[in-house]
Each structure stands twice: as C-alpha cells, then as structure tokens.
Copies of this chain bind each other. A is one copy, B any other.
Amino acid sequence: MDWLDRVKWGDDGLVPAIAQDAESRRVLNLAWMNREALALTIETGLAHYWSRSRRQLWRKGEQSGHVQKVKSLRLDCDEDVDLMEVEQQGGIACHTGRQSCFYRRLENGKWIEVDSVIRDPREIYGK
C-alpha cells in the first residue's frame, strides 16, 4: 500500500514507534515496527510491534490484556519514526506494572524510580 511505502524503513526493516497516552499525554513506550506490524496496527486498530529480542511480531497486551487502541498515527519529517496516540487498556503500558516504561528519572547523577507500580507483574502475567 502506498502509505506504507512512504515510510523509510531502516536497513533492518524497522522504524521506532512511540506510543503516547491520548488522555494523560504521557509517553508510554517506544518499541519497533516492521511493515507487517504497522499494517496490522492500522488494520486492527491495536498497536502491533516487532520484538527485536524474540524476533517476532507481537500485539501489545497479548499476554497481559493491556492492549493499546490507536486513536491516531503520525509520521515525522524524516518519515522514519511513528507516533501513535493510544487509549491504554488497564492504564498500564510497562511490563513492570507501571503506567509508562519511562519511570526512571535522572536526579543528581542517579536514576531514580519515580513512578509507582500499579499492579504486581506476577499478577498480570501469572507466576
């Protein structure tokens, strides 16, 4: 499809994709998409990514139920980064049970965990 051809995929066939909470406006996570993941995201309305470590396609929330409903999709000026506004199911985007994956802040030369765990990951994923 034309709009998919417009994206400047990297040498590895991937682009970074940012998910931002449509309501709180917090940046929730950055993950990677290949052509198939982006196509499926638009087809289904649910964020799909490519896992570089597991080398497979995944639908965000497929295990946890914390899916991301995509409200809008944007492309940057260089056409090599996606930005999605999402409705985050369960209010939890991070596998640590936090709202956002960006829960560490630099304070006086140290990374401090500044956001609390909303739900114990053992509860989310089973033991």
| Chain A contacts to B: CB under 8 angstroms | 1-3, 6, 16, 18, 20, 25, 27, 29-30, 42, 72-79, 81, 83, 94-96, 98, 101-106, 109-111
Contact = CB atoms under 8 A, between A and B. Distances in A.
B96 A77 contact: yes
Contacts of A78: 101
A111 B79 CA distance: 10
Contacts of A102: 74-76, 81, 83
When all copies of this chain in the complex are counted, the total is: 2
B18 A105 contact: no
Contact of A30 (B3, B76, B104, B106): B76
Given A27-B83, A30-B16, A110 B77 contact: no
